[in-house]
Amino acid sequence: MTSTNMVSASSILFPAIAQLLLLVSLILTTNVIAYHHDESSIPSTLDGPFKPVTVPLDKSFRGNAVDLPDTDPRVQRRAAGFQPEQISVSLSSTYDSVWISWITGEFQIGDHIKPLDPKTVASIVRYGKLKYSLTHRATGQSLIYNQLYPFHGLQNYTSGIIHHVRLKGLEPNTLYYYECGDPSIAAMSGTYHFRTMPVSNPKSYPSRIAIVGDLGLTYNTTSTVSHMITNHPDLVLLVGDVCYANLYLTNGTGADCYSCSFSNSPIHETYQPRWDYWGRYMQPLLSKVPIMVVEGNHELEEQAQNQTFVAYSSRFAFPSKESKSPSTFYYSFNAGGIHFIMLGAYISYNKSGDQYKWLKRDLAKVDRGVTPWLVATWHAPWYSTYTAHYREAECMRVAMEDLLYKYGVDVVFNGHVHAYERSNRVYNYTLDPCGPVHITVGDGGNREKMAITHADEPGNCPEPSTTPDKIVGGFCAFNFTSGPAAGKFCWDRQPEYSAFRESSFGHGILEVKNETHALWTWHRNQDLYESAAGDIIYIVRQPDRCPVEVEPPTKGH
């Protein structure tokens, strides 16, 4: 009998013993990160709400990162001809399918570019459970994209050929080996491997999920990624802002603040080769560990004919079709007993829009008996107490928070603010035992500076007029009407919904243990891996106390 079954049986006869067995089960299944903590001292959300904590700024830590140059061997092209490079794995909506993506051919940038023809190279993956017997074969589609500017002197860009192939009929929690490329022209990759997600049920979860935002490609990024690799994650969630190509002019000149340094540019330029550098640097990790990405503001990348988000939508494979979404900006997928909802903060989210209608349908279909955990992510946080981007996403919160609360979202992950913050359970700025825990992890290590000032500190409260919502074209952030901050735009102390905040680069690890308990740890880059985590807590679901309201989707939606 498994420890989970023992707990289930004992809970009927001996509640006290059941609680003891549950604690033992959690201790035995907690990975090496928690071994550096006294298990009995790890708090849980049941101990909250917690009094707000602010960790003082470590001024010895360099919070202004430096980008990897194009001369770094980790970002240089090693593939010859049409050999695959920038190989990555991403998930479909269920365990029995994954996407393999890669690029063949070199990008071009300059005044005179000639796009490659995607039809000249096939998109083929050979795969199987035995390394030297890849008996299965799948084909997919290929594309190129351009980044074009209607102004003299700006260099245009055309990508290599981007391939996306979906593998189907896979077994759960199984190691598969694969090669990708075009065998007809002797342009196949080496052999890589990935592991599928476990089957979706309340007893089955990925061991470790790495969650990071605003990653970029700096020397601090390399520290973040090294820490993640040491953690042996089964899945990586990147909650927006990938490579920061839009901090550069098309001639490759970069700056920490684009608008500050290049205020006279006729259009917000980008240096698209940074995407290729990022793909090459990340390949050792992403060729075997699936990554799921949602767009951030730095993926906007405006170009000719008002096109936006082209690189983001072209380079990654998304389970949009599989999750019945019409867009690459929002979709959902399962990872074991977790249902993930990836939402777009830079596309319409009002209640009459397509995203809201899709979200309502998707939430209504979630069977919490199969996937007890419901996790939502998008880029710009609703609950952040830093001056940077303070209450910037208020219109999205006003439009969608009621829906997420109604369906019992357990945890929300965001980026955008370049610091770390974890909330108490909160709903509508009020402490609520059934509200989700909001966690901001926009601290991946990008070139822009860390966020270090808080809106509740004297002189740091921004003017409400500085928080317009560019999506709906109006203002939703107003003075609070009730509570300790009534009549004010900012609190005059760390808000009670903010449990813990610290300015540092790092990443987080989510380990769901069973239907009710998940261990969350946050790691700072400046710490040795073996040292204690910067923040650690058990997030505990209470389905009996917080029942989910189930409502069938409206006909025709």
CB 182 within 8 A of CB 82: yes
Q: Which residues of 506-536 are buried (b: 16+ CB within 10 A; e: fewer)?
A: bbbbbbbbbbbbbbbbbbbbbeeeeeebbbb
The Cα–Cα gap between 373 and 16 comes to 25
Q: Which of 83, 121, 87, 113 is nearest to 101 (CA)?
A: 87
Residues 196/200/203/205 CA torsion (nearest 10 deg): 40
Per DSSP bridges, beta strands 146-147 and 161-167 are unpaired
Give yes or no for a contact between 286 and 87, defined as CB atoms under 8 angstroms apart.
Answer: yes
Q: Are 136 and 124 in contact (CB under 8 A)?
A: no
Pick the closest to residue 219 from 447, 449, 418, 529 (CA basis): 447
3-state secondary structure of 142: strand
CA distance 296 to 292: 13
Residues near 96 by Cβ (< 8 Å), separated by ≥ 6? Answer: 168, 169, 170, 171, 172, 196
Q: How many CA atoms lie within 13 A of 407 on its CB side?
A: 27
Q: Round to whole Å and give the CA distance between 98 and 153.
A: 42
Q: Where are the alpha helices (DSSP H) in 366-460?
A: 394-406
Q: In the beta sheet, which residues pair with residue 262?
A: none
Helix then strand then coil, in percent of the chain rounded to 5, is 20, 25, 55
CA angle 147, 151, 157 (to 5 degrees): 20
Question: 101, 118 in Cβ contact below 8 A?
Answer: no
**43 and 538 Cβ atoms separated by less than 8 Å:** yes
Hey, which bits of 50-135 come out as E strands? 53-54, 85-91, 98-104, 108-110, 124-128
Q: Do residues 193 and 284 touch, judged by C-beta distance below 8 A?
A: no
Active site residue 389: yes
Q: Which residues of 232-242 are buried (b: 16+ CB within 10 A; e: fewer)?
A: ebbbbbbbbbb
The residue ranges of DSSP E strands in 303-424, in sequence order, are 331-335, 338-342, 373-377, 411-414, 420-423
**Catalytic-role residue among 389, 416, 438, 517:** 389
Which residues contact residue 169 at a Cβ distance below 8 angstroms, ignoring those fewer than 6 apart? 96, 97
Residue 317 to residue 307: CA distance in whole angstroms? 19
- CA atoms of 273 and 75, how far apart (whole Å): 10
Catalytic residues: 389
